[in-house]
Structure 1
Amino acid sequence: MLAVTKRIVCGAAVTALAVGLAGCSGAGSPEPKDKTNAESEDGSHGAKKGAGPAKSAVRLIGDGSTAYTGAQPGVLKPERLKPGQKPPQFVVFSWDGAGEDSQKLFSHFREVGKKYDAKMTYFLSGVYLLPKDKSKQYSPPQHAVGRSDIGFNDTEGIRNTLRELRGAWQDGNEIGTHFNGHFCGANGGVGSWSVEEWQSEISQAKAFVKNWKTNTGLTAEAPLPFDYEKELVGARTPCLEGQKNMMLAAKPMGFRYDSSGVGTQVWPKKTEGMWDIPLQLVPVPGRQFETLSMDYNFMFNQSKTVNGDPSQHEYWGNQMRDGLIQAFGRAYDGNRAPLIIGNHFESWNGGTYMRAVEETIKTVCVKDGVRCVTFKELADWLDAQDPETLERLRGLAVGQKPKGGWQSYLTAPKAPASPTAPAAPAGPEASDSSAAPDSATVPDADPGAGSE
């Protein structure tokens, strides 16, 4: 069993439409989609499956905790949209603090992903590969050496988590990071960390993955089948706090995207030279506000506790599922912006949110033109596109269909700038002005407002 003390330690994340705390740490199977038709009709050949792993000998790295085993199997090959081509509908399912404990949710959702052709991003907490008796190896910023707000692991938990990480990568999934000690809020929370402190935290998160054999003594275990120094390209911060300084630290360390922001269902842009792909505001059916696309936020707005009224469990799970599916529908039939969903391997309120996520996967990932992908695959696809095409996609509001259809919208000549209009600012800063707010900086709102 994963021997970590899982505490809900979250900072407030509220906007005019979203109420609740930031994320912490169905019947029958639909027929599979016809992907050949989907590609020809919906332009979803903008991403195709690669040819699989290159044949090569295993090359151990460092102490043998990780290894180079060739190209990752099962990943999508990014291709540029053709002029006027309808973009694929991307959906990203992601998991914060991914580890395998007695609930066996990591292994369960790996199987769900394989069944419904859904690749996912698993944000690993580095301390899940660090045994408690080696806790002093962790020196968290602004906290005592050996402290972690989510504890550490035991031998069985580490061995089980390693098994799932190996399998997840070999299935074509992504291993990102949720960093280490999960410190939130005041008194040393990640929102107060400097760039240099984030650099230390990132380096330690990498080290715990790259040196688990030395730290655990499990030398007979097989290595993780990837070079984590190259594999790690993205993250989500604890409680969605501290995004700006984290990104400033992470970009020079090889990161390509971040998913710690609060945003809406529009096409992503770059901030600090990285793809800024935030969690999104989605409907809460039957309520007059939207909340973030994460299990924790639905739970907070429904019960404010992980052990709410059992008679409401089914209703709450259905509400989350229906809200996510409504969010999917307005993108799928509208601007085709990627839908970003975050979760935790937790059985809050009787496991109703895990059921909601699974039912969402089996509903949306089988539809024509849909690609359930990792953040890394989405970033690859975005990088492959013509910048003018991405600019036009970002011009569509939540749920907005392109005027005149996709063919017309993505091929019409670009309107000339007004001769009296001031020149647009040059450089990458020009595209960063509408960055989603960091959840830690949203001012003066009641985190319980709008909740029953």
Structure 2
Amino acid sequence: MPSASRLAATLIILASSTAAPAEEAQLRGTIGTQPQYVLISFDNAGNNDLWDRSRALAQRSNAKFTYFLSCVFLIDRKDRKSYQPPSMGAGRSNIGFAASREDIALRLDNIWRARNEGNEIASHACGHFDGKDWSKAQWETELVTYKSVLRDAWARYGHGAEPADWKSFVDGEIRGFRAPYLSESPALIAALKAQDYLYDGSGVSRGPALPQRSGGLYRFGLPTIPEGPKDRPVIAMDYNLFVRHSGGFERKDHLGEFENRAYAAFKGAFERQYDGKRIPFQIGLHFTLMNGDAYWRALERFTQEVCVKPDVRCVTYSDYIRETGGIASAAAHHSQSGI
């Protein structure tokens, strides 16, 4: 979860960010047609209790989620010096490391079970640093380190024999990315393209928007949505609601109010698309409870009500691209561009 000191940067993002200018993806089966897509994601993906809670929600709601996993949660704090972030000393992290080897073993089991249940594991980098000033080479170092940490994690910390296709899963299936603090830069985008990522989910758009495509990389933006008594726009993410509702400080005396406001914002934004153009609607949460669990409860209400509808598809980012023809289009663009 971003710290309260990131509030100013967050508000700048809210005020000025839009989906990145690029060639608009021509995706089949989206605007004005069935079904309505909903893309729900979780950042950091550390806490094992919330892995259990989210997986149970997916199963009872006919939903599939995208987990933007931070790789430091697969490094025991005793082994933290094995992680070397760009331009910093070894063993640094803004979000700590795993509490123990047992904690990692449980998380690996959750990751593997979630993946086998049809959910997606994607990258949230490692130490949750703001890389807006990193070079392409520095970002590539972080991306390569990420895959290396995941590739070795089961052999290093896992319970029982490593799944036969664990390494191929890491190398071939983790093709999505979201930057910590939603901090995009041209260097990051260049690094993602160089490392053959399929999509980036770090953007912010003014309302729900189709992904943009450039050089084979799809770029998604979390939407700003109307919220609260005055329908002021806010990024559809728990941290931004947390700052809006209580200034980034816990206010457990208003949990019902905050939950209801978040639910109403999610549901209202969804219904505008469901009854209109049916542009995919995105929501982002963290594996951190804010204002108690007000935003998780709001998401659970929303997901259980919406994702069971026969003409709604609550899917992962990769599955959304695949189902709407994006992978074929991206492959063709990739071949034509030579990137």
TM-score after normalising by structure 2? 0.86
Q: Are the aligned partners of 1:346 and 1:354 in contact in 2 as well (CA < 8 Å)?
A: no
Structure 1 gap segments, 5+ residues each: 22-78, 185-189, 388-426, 429-452
Q: Are the aligned partners of 1:178 and 1:237 in contact in 2 as well (CA < 8 Å)?
A: yes
C-alpha separation between the residues in 1 aligned to 2:96 and 2:32?
Answer: 49
Cα displacement (A) at 1:301:
0.6
C-alpha separation between the residues in 2 aligned to 1:384 and 1:262?
Answer: 20
Aligned position for 2:39: 92
Distance change >3 Å, CA 243–CA 339, structure 1 → 2: farther
Distance change >3 Å, CA 13–CA 382, structure 1 → 2: farther
Aligned position for 1:435: none
Cα displacement (A) at 1:267:
1.9
C-alpha separation between the residues in 2 aligned to 1:85 and 1:333?
Answer: 9
Matches within 5 A, 1:20-39: none
Cα displacement (A) at 1:332:
0.8
* Partner deviation per Cα, 1:325-375 (whole Å, 9 max, x = no partner): 101011111111100110012221111111011111012112231100000
Matches within 5 A, 1:146-185: 146-153=91-98, 154-184=100-130
C-alpha separation between the residues in 1 aligned to 2:249 and 2:156?
Answer: 33
2:160 to 214, 220, 245: 220
Cα displacement (A) at 1:151:
1.0
1:298 to 241, 244, 247: 241
Q: Are the aligned partners of 1:257 and 1:379 in contact in 2 as well (CA < 8 Å)?
A: no
Distance change >3 Å, CA 277–CA 242, structure 1 → 2: closer
Cα displacement (A) at 1:384:
4.7
Q: Are the aligned partners of 1:280 and 1:340 in contact in 2 as well (CA < 8 Å)?
A: yes
Structure 2 counterpart of 1:123, one-letter code: F
2:54 to 109, 124, 135: 109
C-alpha separation between the residues in 1 aligned to 2:238 and 2:32?
Answer: 34
Kindly, what percent of the aligned residue pairs are identical?
31
1:125 to 46, 49, 70: 70
Cα displacement (A) at 1:250:
1.2
Aligned position for 1:317: 259
Larger radius of gyration: 1
Structure 1 counterpart of 2:142, one-letter code: E
C-alpha separation between the residues in 2 aligned to 1:386 and 1:105?
Answer: 34
C-alpha separation between the residues in 2 aligned to 1:9 and 1:272?
Answer: 35
Tell me, what secondary structure is at the counterpart of 2:105? helix
Cα displacement (A) at 1:174:
0.3
1:356 aligns with 2:303: no
Structure 2 gap segments, 5+ residues each: 18-26, 330-335
Structure 1 counterpart of 2:244, one-letter code: N
Cα displacement (A) at 1:213:
3.9
Distance change >3 Å, CA 378–CA 208, structure 1 → 2: same
1:341 aligns with 2:296: no
Distance change >3 Å, CA 219–CA 329, structure 1 → 2: closer
2:11 to 2, 14, 18: 14
Question: RMSD over aligned Cα, in angstroms?
Answer: 2.7
Higher helix share: 2
C-alpha separation between the residues in 2 aligned to 1:331 and 1:127?
Answer: 37
Distance change >3 Å, CA 113–CA 375, structure 1 → 2: same
TM-score after normalising by structure 1? 0.65
Q: Are the aligned partners of 2:154 and 2:162 in contact in 1 as well (CA < 8 Å)?
A: no
Question: How many residue pairs are counted as aligned between the two chains?
Answer: 317
Structure 1 counterpart of 2:199, one-letter code: Y
Distance change >3 Å, CA 219–CA 106, structure 1 → 2: closer
Tell me, what secondary structure is at the counterpart of 1:260? strand
Would you identify which runs of 4 or more consecutive aligned residues in structure 1 move more than 6 Å?
none
